[in-house]
Structure 1
Amino acid sequence: MLESRFSQIRLLLEEALPMVSQDDQKVIKNFDDRLQRNFYTKLQKMSAEEFYQFDGLRKSYLLEDNVWMNLIDKMSRLIKFPRRDFYPEDRVERRAYGKKKKQYELNACHELFHGLKPLKVYDFGGGVGNLSHYLNTHFAVSSSVIDANENLIIKGRSKLKTNKGISFIHTVVDEKCDLNLDSNSLGVGLHTCGNFAFDMLKVCSHKKIKHIVNFGCCYSKITNHKYHLSQNSQKKPFLNYRALASATLSFGTVERDQYDFRLKILDYKYSFYHWLYTEHGILKFCPMSNARRSLYSLDFKDFVSITLKRFFPHLKPPAEKSLMSFYKSHPNRQLIKYFTAYYACSRYFGELVEAYLLVDRALYLQQKGYESHIFEVFDPQISPRNKAIVATLNLV
């Protein structure tokens, strides 16, 4: 089952890959180098409300294009996984540490952990021990928090010093580590960032841990091709940073005000990069914050002035008239409209990239002797990385 799905995902991903991996700098340098699709052109002709319905509310059918609809139809059958109702509506809210999102996740996993009935838990990347505290409190199981961040380990030990069933292990989990793990146990990663997912799966499978539960996240931080794990992958296709980042997005619906804010971020950022290259021959993407609403509530000229001062202090701020003339110019508006359409479509195909990564990981465990499944556990509106790999070691 996993092998067949993986083959189909991989085949479709090879077709869709250009739509999530474009080099934006090349497009800014030369607009003719952009990836061109008829449905990008159709999308740019939509009204603002239609575009919001398509992108913000995920109504893919509003883009009436045969190629697009065929891609979406194929993809929709491959990216959905069984929904395990680990968090029924008549649920009991159990005590949990952490922020509201973390409390939701722990309660949502309650029945999953209950069904596995672990005797011992290894909490990979457990930080201050919120998951371990939950399991120790509600299942009376001993747990070891494994984390590379010494500050979190120190904080967790202080916070949970009265919980004798919880221990902390400060170590980097990678190919060189040699953890002494009890095989009759459960290894949990909630959530494992970037390469950490593979490192956890490799350690757990090498030690033949009985149960493994892994939620991935921050796929854009994966390095060294640690996304081709299974023998089925054959180490291709190549996924660049853009492709991996597309899998890290939220695939839920977005309220209109948040959506408009997202569009303004794209408008200001890419207009700035376009102006910087046109006027100064500099093309360098900067780590601008997407969370600072105050920055994007400014006029574009003030945004440019602040951004120049931070990242390019040697450059003199432009005259307001010439800057705003460039900002409103046809070439710049054309570029922004194109990128807006491109990323609206890219957000759909990001789900396909995530499915590829998860099925590849599940297959890797299957080839290590595990029965592997992928379940949708969380509400994606609350926790976007909502899918779990649940694997149990096959008894010989």
Structure 2
Amino acid sequence: MPGVSARGLSYGERRQLAVNLTRVLELYRPILDAYIIEFFTDNLWGTLPCSWQEALDGLDPPQLATLLLGMPGEGEVVRYRSVWPLTLLALKSTACALAFTRTPGFQTPSEFLENPSQSSRLTAPFRKHVKPKKQHEIRRLGEGHLSRFMSLGLGLMVKSIEGDQRLVERAQRLDQQLLQVLAKVEKRNPRVVQRGRCLPHHVVKWVDPIDLCEELLLPLESTQHGGTRLLLTGLHACGDLSVALLRHFCCCPEVVALASVGCCYMKLSDPGGYPLSQWVAGLPGYELPYRLREGACHALEEYAERLQKARPDLRTHCYRAALETVIRHACPELQRPGVQGIPRVHELKIEEYVQRGLQRVGLDPQLPLNLAALQAHEAQENRVVAFFSLALLMAPLVETLILLDRLLYLQEQGFHAELLPIFSPELSPRNMVLVATKMPLGQAFSALETEDS
């Protein structure tokens, strides 16, 4: 979807954008704060204005992708079958106008044109154990795989922080495997691989979002000229880790640059993780409860593609909402329990899905079912998809406010900062990198936006 570029806004315009975002999110908070699995138990469809119900009712998934999410198919013209209420059209336009653009300066990454599973811009040793999504991210930003590429691929001194001992041990094994492969390649052709590479230094450590971590700042080796200069980088730094990187950048003179791609906004501490900036903290309606932050992590482009293709797995939300009605009838105190993934949902009858779901939450799968009621729920599948699409339309506004708050926080401290969409959103939904320095870098930020940088 189109949107506004953070690079095109002045500091004052960024603050005004935060004002506008909080106003819009406060106005439509009931939609964003709803759980789709409560579609039937809480009559979510009935909470929408009647005019919205009339406009959305009966639309099939491809029509929702085109008319609501604004993603028409190739060569397709948007045609409304009826006159939509101005309030719904205004929401659609507002969601588009206020969200940061997620479109990078390139279309389909050229590195996957020949083979969608293998990046042509990473050599074979650096593609091993790495999915296409991560290959793209490593090549563009360029955890374990990022530190491995930066150290063994680029020859940089790297310290990698990870809280899980098992993941650290696995990363160390992969480091050794890659080092052996590179040694074989170099033996065959010494010009292919540069000498002098060092393994990344892995540290098992949980980083607090507020307190500084001395282990993170200890240099790998002493320098002879001018002290230590550190770059902090996090490729999809989960929850509070993104916040910790920002605080370390601001507080520590050794850290001169930051490149951070956040994720898992629902795991941010409250307070402490959001808001960070004084400006956003002073705005009425700035609060973003768990449900809003969790919704901001959904993959808008991937869901729109599912809509366009009318994929049968879209019915999962409808089935799960129907299951919730059965769960609450059988056990009223059990609300919104987690249900382990049920494979191939689209091939199941709704009563089969409900029986398997009951078993997964510890209830008797042979409970008597009201088949007529379940089938009536199933008939509302398109309504469930429409409500979820409506919430997803506004999800980028939540992510924009979170990222804008971080951008303003850095600027309030007097640092130079930009937000750039550098990954393909189809491959990597969280594709905005927050880049900050302690001195102007001229064209360096612009260079990051091109595919060949």
The answer to whether the superposition gives a TM-score over 0.5 is: yes
TM category, shorter: 0.7 to 0.9
Mapped pair 1:144 → 2:159: yes
| TM-score normalised to structure 1 length | 0.82
Mapped pair 1:213 → 2:262: no
Mapped pair 1:108 → 2:108: no
Mapped pair 1:70 → 2:90: yes
What is the match of residue 318 of structure 1?
Answer: 367
Deviates more, 1:267-276 or 1:332-341: 332-341
Does the CA-based 8 Å contact 1:265-1:296 persist in structure 2? yes
What is the match of residue 356 of structure 2?
Answer: 306
Mapped pair 1:392 → 2:437: yes
What is the match of residue 207 of structure 2?
Answer: 173
Aligned-residue offset at 1:50: 2.2
What is the match of residue 394 of structure 2?
Answer: 349
Tell me the amino acid that sits aligned with residue 395 of structure 2. Answer: G
SS at match of 1:142: coil
| TM-score normalised to structure 2 length | 0.73
Aligned-residue offset at 1:102: 0.8
Deviates more, 1:77-86 or 1:210-219: 77-86
Tell me the amino acid that sits aligned with residue 307 of structure 1. Answer: G
Aligned-residue offset at 1:288: 2.1
Instruction: Select 1:269's aligned residue among 298, 308, 320.
Output: 320
**Structure-2 change in CA distance of 1:9 and 1:40 (3 Å):** same
Tell me the amino acid that sits aligned with residue 170 of structure 2. Answer: K
Q: Any idea what the Cα deviations from partners look like across 1:328-347, whole Å, max 9, x if unmatched?
A: 23xx3687554432211101
Q: How high is the sequence identity, in percent, across the aligned residues? A: 19
Does the CA-based 8 Å contact 2:415-2:438 persist in structure 1? yes
SS at match of 2:236: strand
SS at match of 1:227: coil
Does the CA-based 8 Å contact 2:261-2:433 persist in structure 1? yes
Does the CA-based 8 Å contact 2:155-2:198 persist in structure 1? no
Q: Any idea what the Cα deviations from partners look like across 1:253-278, whole Å, max 9, x if unmatched?
A: 31459753442111110011123334
Does the CA-based 8 Å contact 2:162-2:206 persist in structure 1? yes
What is the match of residue 194 of structure 2?
Answer: none
Aligned-residue offset at 1:207: 1.4
Instruction: Select 1:363's aligned residue among 400, 408, 412.
Output: 408
Q: Any idea what the Cα deviations from partners look like across 1:232-273, whole Å, max 9, x if unmatched?
A: 112642222221121101111314597534421111100111
Does the CA-based 8 Å contact 1:146-1:171 persist in structure 2? yes
Mapped pair 1:248 → 2:297: yes
Mapped pair 1:20 → 2:69: no
The whole-number CA distance in structure 2 between the counterparts of 1:105 and 1:340 is 30
Does the CA-based 8 Å contact 1:275-1:326 persist in structure 2? no
**Structure-2 change in CA distance of 1:23 and 1:216 (3 Å):** same
The whole-number CA distance in structure 2 between the counterparts of 1:21 and 1:232 is 24
Tell me the amino acid that sits aligned with residue 288 of structure 2. Answer: L
The whole-number CA distance in structure 2 between the counterparts of 1:323 and 1:58 is 38
What is the match of residue 123 of structure 1?
Answer: none
**Structure-2 change in CA distance of 1:3 and 1:28 (3 Å):** same
**Structure-2 change in CA distance of 1:206 and 1:339 (3 Å):** same
The whole-number CA distance in structure 2 between the counterparts of 1:242 and 1:14 is 14
Instruction: Select 2:198's aligned residue among 134, 145, 164.
Output: 164
Aligned-residue offset at 1:376: 0.6
Q: Where do residues 27-42 of structure 1 align in structure 2 (5 Å cutoff)?
A: 28-31=40-43, 34-37=46-49, 38-42=51-55
Mapped pair 1:5 → 2:54: no
Root-mean-square deviation over aligned CA pairs: 3.1
What is the match of residue 196 of structure 1?
Answer: 241
SS at match of 2:394: helix
Aligned length, in residue pairs: 372
SS at match of 2:311: helix
The whole-number CA distance in structure 2 between the counterparts of 1:263 and 1:139 is 43
